Amino acid sequence: MRYESIAIHGGKSEDSGKDAVNYPIYLSSTFAQPSLDQFQEFAYSRGSNPTRSNVEKLAADLEGAKYGLALASGMAATSLVFGLLKQGDKVLINNNVYGGTWRYVSNIFADHGIEYEVVNDFNHYNFNDADSNVKMIFIETPSNPLLEITDIRKVSKEARKRNIVTVVDNTFLTSYFQKPLDLGADIVVYSATKYYAGHSDILAGLVLLNDDEHFTKLKFLQNTYGGILSPIDSFLLTRGIKTLSLRLAKHQKNALLVAQYFEKHPAVKDVYYPGLKSHKNHDIQRSQATGDGGVLSIRLNDGWDSKKFIANLKIFDLAVSLGGVESLICHPASMTHESYALELQEKIGIDSKLLRLAIGVEHEEDILEDISNALVKAKI
């Protein structure tokens, strides 16, 4: 089956025997076992729950992965993967990643004797310079919030030569637009809160992979940490996935129109969106992804006031997160990436004028009219 069909019909084929078209919600903390000589797949819901198992298989089916793990949030998924590291290991990360990921790396790694190094541009990184204790590369592409693109094939190839695990945060694109495992990555992580769920009503995380050894360790950690996705949220995530392809197509259509509008508007100094031919890594994006997603960032020129622009938007809510059906705008320096030290923000370009827009699925003319009217009122 093709992607859209898998999204609707993938996952576990068994249910409670009632032939429900939707997989049931199993609201049980524990499951009776037939006998001491026969234990079934499900025993205690922290370890495994049928509804969660269903969405894990569904996400794996969509990714073309052997294994899937569903967690209570995107950060639970990222933290789970970092659990593969041990004292003395080192991680390479790209220079702008989700603020929560940076908060973990910059604060918690040291407590566990783990090192990290920020790489400004993996596309031109000399892997011969990597320290011998580098055991993991964690990249986010497109990155948050500057929409930088990393060549997943190149990084994964170089990492594999050195027995380094490559992890890709694919939240902005999902497996609908990009499949990092097919490009050579070892593990994919998602904040499924975003496009997979799609309605800003649950928190969820996903980890997808093929390696048996890594899965065994991660499954153990999932059960041990206990940050699992609840049955109800697993059901809602499954429901969101059924319309993922429809929503993402509309998100992307709207985002490209908005990016093209900004690119020509005198109020806008910089536009960051990989779907634009002017994007510095547009060719890399075209080589590894079939789409560009619904997120873009801009920087207004000096003659326009960012606060007034935000205040006069009617369709866009000022809020963190992305991937829901509604359009959102946020100020990364103070809202999503406040955990970055000021000097690091300035170094990588997350300044006070940078705005990130998550384009929703409203009518494109309404979105463009809202932006146009707000820019008029933001003129100084």
Active site residues: 46, 98, 169, 194
* Cα 248 from Cα 251, distance rounded (Å): 5
Q: Amino acid identity of 271?
A: V
Say if residues 218 and 207 touch (Cβ distance below 8 Å): yes
Which candidate, 208, 251, 188, places its Cα nearest to that of 67? Answer: 208
* Cα 153 from Cα 102, distance rounded (Å): 24
| Residue indicated by tokens 């429900």 | 20
Say if residues 190 and 205 touch (Cβ distance below 8 Å): yes
Query: At what angle are helices 244-264 and 364-378 packed, to 10 degrees?
Result: 30
94 DSSP β-pair partners: 119
Cis status, amide bond into 231, omega within 30 of 0: no
Q: Amino acid identity of 132?
A: S
Supply φ then ψ for residue 296, to 5 degrees: -145, 160
Helix (H) or strand (E) holding 187: strand 187-191
